Homo-oligomer: A and B are copies of this chain.
């Protein structure tokens, strides 16, 4: 049975650092199957900001470019950067376990994430041994359940 902790559903907008750090620890958060979920809707401004700070100016993310022309029809419209979606895993982990340090992350980009569609970000504990914890990480469309990005993360947790 999953011990599920759900953060409020809302689009995130830039605010000052750490104002949104939510302490969501609970006694069951180190049990196998424990999961943390939160909702996230990526805006065009998020995509532009991410492109600007990472330097990833791939035209497949540009609302003004024709994504279809660049990808031979593989994308019909611009996609949110997969790494922006994947970064939401780290964000969720940081809310659940502030101080956690990423050791590894495997990512599969299975379907494009669109601007404006509500996504559910989930991290679920596979196994914890001491301060080392392995999580299944999933980003899926709330509307239809399609998994857009998933993978496995390994993190070093702070001592409790």
Residues of A participating in the B interface, judged by any CB pair closer than 8 Å:
12, 14-15, 17-21, 40, 46, 48-60, 62, 64-65, 70-72, 74-75, 79, 81-84, 86-88, 90-91, 93-95, 98-109, 156, 158-159
Measured between alpha carbons, how far is A122 from B95 in the docked complex, in Å? Answer: 31
Complex CA gap A111/B149 in Å reads 25
Which residue from B58, B88, B101 sits with its C-beta under 8 Å from A55?
B88
Say yes or no: B94 contacts A58, CB within 8 Å. Answer: yes
For the complex formed, measure the closest distance between the CB of A85 and the CB atoms of chain B, giving whole angstroms.
9
Cross-interface CB contact of A87 among B46, B54, B108, cutoff 8 Å: B54
B residues in contact with A88, CB < 8 Å: 54-55
Contact A90 B58 (CB under 8 A): yes
Contacts of A79 in B (CB 8 A): 101
